[in-house]
Structure 1
């Protein structure tokens, strides 16, 4: 484990110095054919199933695939990654449809007042949801279960074979990208984003983290996401049928830009929304993406990456400002990142009060143990340079996000190279 005070400077984002393991991984993957038929045939072969349910998903899958094809800088491993994700989601769709067809009562399961955390990437959502998830009265989406929500016929045993596969996969990923845990740890048993449950319906902003899918970004922005929230709810019901409890705690950044869809599908939802300086969010998020891109892309254009995500975060925040009042005041609170970091227990208590959830001694003790075991920066602290690495004008960026600073009193965090 890295010293908690260790500073990490990644100085080769634009021109990566690849390790032998990274070169070997890039050179070892076969060529990929990006067609809907290729994805669906691979999913059928993986599962032995054939019925995908309603066919509307095929249009969205086609847009995903064309977006990946349009991204000409995706390298061999990047292409293999996005194709593999499509096959994984299609396989889950097959298994989910098969399960729900055989057990129609699943559709009647009540998802009771779910706690659905929204907030920018890198704004504390992951930490908050993992803290809340230690309470045994709440059901959550650990990484291993979101990767493969519906078990196959051979997924029997303890530990669950899906956990073992996820542990091996993410272990290999972190072997290739050893600095990733310092930016975003992905332990198999940590709670992951519930938009993974929209993946089998081929929606959400999932493709944007592993490619530059301009075509998909614009398609997604132009379509109501309510049907895909409903699809994800169906998977939550399926997961609840496997084991309870029926009260969930989940999180995803895109909830911020889909508040009307979220509350339409989950009218009793409790929605804590975390808020953080978007400049600090961006420097963290795009550095993490750029670091991962060394194995995904043939060439890394850091200014393009910055421009893509500045636009993307602006779209998300404008939707949040516009639709914030779609969530009833009795069901939502705004959580400022700097206040959460200053007093985590007080913030957690606010969420419990909002959710009408008694803080029992067992839950309180579990939370204390989690906080003690997971201090901020325990894998080291990355030094970000938004201006030096990405060519971003910090002052202009702050002006661009003025509408958000005006709406929510987030603390502006000092960044490297900024005039004070």
Structure 2
């Protein structure tokens, strides 16, 4: 244990003082030395990790905390891969576990998707991964570290909330909150999670060119571990699935897909603010206008892809359900009932009662009251309204923001 502590301390000092990023080979070697394990699994990761390391070092303008925390985050992901593979070598049947008809919630961010995800997670017949499980999938494994598990994750989250106090109102979560899927694809180092937390345009372009199929294979493998030996329906959520729908369909051909929709003019400044809050602890400087431009460009593209997927029948109609923010927030229980009816799922009395209790506890999903200004992020409401006119018309989305 003392030798591992010395190794960890030396690693932190090197990262903090270095003017160059550690290459993937060095990070892999460090993870192996920390854990005593050697096999990272069947998917190649070095190229993607090198791309991420270069982009973070050259473009993200990290402060000291950002450099150290990014290093540890990468080592955590690599450690998880080593642990997953160690379990697979002990029990090869893990990779044969079926993931049948998983439900994915995707669509516009800040459109009630987290609220809906938390409601669907109340069904005992479903498996919804929690935040702590994505961070420590096997807390009892010797390589996971001391006291790994939900309590340790909550302490880590409490620390981060002190660094980013606005996060509780903008995006409330704790160790037991249902987790977004980008945490699973992050283990492939081909994930949109990284370009939310860091300004890394070159890495973003590389992922777009390399594609997302490998990331979703890692996603599926992660689920096979988390759900255990009992096959059950997985309920998953992330708005960013919009940018990888072809890969999602390839890896999960029988998926059930729920699109959430909202007036983009309510979405954009909120997403920009969340991005700012997430990046600020890690970066020396934050360019709000650059964030606004990125968010506007990304989701104008995302809206077009959602429309195209609907027009092209990317999934059969019986596998797709559309939810509007206003309908969800006005009648959440009825909305979930409609989803279950559409997908032919059993809506049990016990599930209904848990939904009632959840809605009474968190009628707004736990969000505080937030006010965002377009001008803070260099956005003009009239221009943004034009970008999304086709999307709103196609899905019949009501305006929540009146443009003068």
* TM-score calculated relative to the size of structure 2: 0.89
C-alpha distance in 2 between matches for 1:133 and 1:182: 21
Unpaired stretches in structure 2, ≥5 consecutive residues: 1-14
- Give the aligned partner of residue 303 of structure 1: 289
Instruction: Spell out the pairing of 1:138-287 with structure 2 (5 A cutoff).
Output: 138-154=126-142, 161-241=148-228, 244-287=230-273
Secondary structure of residue in 1 paired with 2:236: strand
SS state at 1:326 partner: coil
Q: What does residue 24 of structure 1 align with?
A: none
Map of 1:338 onto structure 2: 326
Following the alignment from structure 1 to structure 2, what is the Cα–Cα distance between the partners of residues 254 and 419?
27
Stretches of structure 1 lacking an aligned partner (at least 5 in a row): 1-28
1:320 Cα deviation from its structure 2 partner: 2.2
Alignment of 1:25-44 (within 5 A): 30-31=16-17, 33-44=21-32
**CA distance in structure 2 between the aligned counterparts of 1:79 and 1:406, rounded to whole angstroms:** 44
SS at match of 2:260: strand
- Residue 377 of structure 1 and its aligned partner are, at CA, apart by 7.0
CA contact (8 A) 2:127 2:234 kept: yes
With over 3 angstroms needed to count, the CA separation of the structure-2 counterparts of 1:351 and 1:72, relative to structure 1, is closer
Of 111, 115, 122 in structure 1, the residue corresponding to residue 110 of structure 2 is: 122
Shift of 1:378: 4.7
Tell me if structure 2 keeps the 8 A contact 1:337–1:410: no
SS at match of 2:258: strand
Aligned pairs, number: 385
Question: Structure 2 CA distance, aligned partners of 1:222 and 1:117?
Answer: 24
* Counterpart selection for 1:353 from 341, 366, 387: 341
The Cα of 1:197 is off from its aligned counterpart by 1.4
**1:55–1:256 CA distance, 2 compared to 1 (3 A):** closer
1:128 deviates by 0.7
Shift of 1:87: 1.5
Please give the TM-score of this superposition, normalised by the length of structure 1. 0.86
Residue in structure 2 matching 1:56, options 23, 26, 44? 44
What residue number does 1:84 align with? 72
The alignment's C-alpha RMSD in Å is 2.2
Cα offset, 1:273, TM superposition:
0.8
- Structure 1 runs of 4+ aligned residues shifted over 4 Å read none
2:48 and 2:190 in contact (8 A); partners too: yes
Partner of 2:357: 369
* 1:204–1:254 Cα contact (<8 Å) kept: no
User: Which residue is 2:6 aligned to?
Assistant: none
